[in-house]
Structure 1
Amino acid sequence: MAQQLILSIPAPILTYDAYAELQGIGVKDVVNAIQRGRLPVYMPPTDGVENPARVKKYINMVALYADAAKQAGMEFNLQG
């Protein structure tokens, strides 16, 4: 039987401020990591009228956990 690791993701998305606080880093560091492609971003859908550049973006914690699992050679499954 394969071993199973059960993780609880406290929130599927976090604001830049919340992620920075969780990691103990500055918001500027979060923005820099995003610009370098090191953090996955979730952008809510727009209605076509909004300028996508002005829509608030979030850190995609689900994608971050999935990438960490993949790098660790683990299988990542979501269960609801």
Structure 2
Amino acid sequence: MPVVVDIDVMMARRKITVGALADLVGITPANLAVLKNGRAKAVRFSTLEALCEALDCQPGDLLRWEPVSPET
């Protein structure tokens, strides 16, 4: 997948657990795990905003695009 989710990186930098972050954001730990592991098909802007507020970061700190390399 060309969009890479770096929520786990920011969580490690901020030394926060999945449970604590889920409480701050207002989502379940299971839904946060889906986001964190890159299995989500979409993310609401309100959730992204809450993640950025809780982790004191920008959306670009949580999401990045990597081009897909062509198979040779």
Question: Which structure carries more helix by proportion?
Answer: 2
TM, length-normalised to structure 2:
0.37
TM-score (norm 1): 0.34
